[in-house]
Amino acid sequence: MSAREMPFRILVLCTGNSARSQIAEALFATRGAGRVQAASAGSRPAARVNPYAVEVLAAHGIPWEGRTPQHVDTFAGQRFDLVVTVCDNARDACPYFPGAAAQVHWGLPDPADEATPEAARRAFAATYDALAARVDAVLALPLASLDADALRERAQAVHAVGAAS
């Protein structure tokens, strides 16, 4: 398989790899199936994926049970076309991922910070919607033809547009 035929590889990073990064990985993996290969990891992985993340994904037809948060070191030495940090702590802990051709930051509030189940469900739904819009916008890009600088610029712009809406 030539490099051109290889799937576009995306790694999503967050601190706990239990909520935002899991949702983004699921979206990239399902919506980009056959075109992209997605993974996620955390700088301090949680013991389990947040049940509200699994719930919101299931509500959108994406089965995600049985997943385990992974440490970013799991992917050391691997090459990714795009690395996305989705929380400020992960951006600070992983300001540069050595295997990234392009790296961007989509800072989003942690939906797991909500105190009640109702508020958490609303926050996870909002996080899902925000990430789905960004993932769809990235997947609409001509990924195979963008160089690293253009990819970084356009993938970061996706977040700026999403944050403004």
Cα dihedral across residues 41, 69, 163, 154: positive or negative: positive
Q: Which residues contact 65 (CB under 8 A, 6 or more apart)?
A: 54, 58
**What's the pLDDT band for 4 if we cut at 50, 70, 90?**
very low
CB 76 within 8 A of CB 9: no
pTM, to two decimals: 0.91
Residue 98: per-residue pLDDT: 78
Residue 129 domain boundaries: 3-157
- Does 21 fall in a domain? yes
Number of structural domains in the chain: 1
- Which residues carry out catalysis? 14, 87, 94
- Does 20 fall in a domain? yes
Q: DSSP labels for 38-70? A: EEEEESS--SS--HHHHHHHHHTT---TT----
The enclosing domain of 81 has a CATH number of 3.40.50.2300
Residue 122: per-residue pLDDT: 97
- Does 72 fall in a domain? yes
Q: pLDDT tens, 42-85?
A: 989 999 999 999 999 999 999 999 999 999 999 988 999 999 99
φ/ψ region of 103 (left if φ > 0, alpha if ψ in -120 to 50, else beta) reads beta
- Does 165 fall in a domain? no
- Does 15 fall in a domain? yes
- Does 67 fall in a domain? yes
Can you tell me the distance from the alpha carbon of 85 to that of 98, in angstroms, rounded to the nearest whole number? 14
Beta strands across the sheet bearing 36-42: 36-42, 8-14, 80-85, 100-105
pLDDT of 109 above 50: yes
CB 149 within 8 A of CB 156: no
Residue 1: per-residue pLDDT: 36
Can you tell me the distance from the alpha carbon of 7 to that of 111, in angstroms, rounded to the nearest whole number? 30
Burial 20-49, CB ≥16 within 10 A → b, else e: bbbbbbbbbbbbbeeebbbbbbbbebbeeb
- Among residues 125, 130, 118, 132, the alpha carbon closest in space to that of 53 is found at 125
- Does 163 fall in a domain? no
- Does 164 fall in a domain? no
pLDDT of 90 above 90: no
CB 111 within 8 A of CB 19: yes
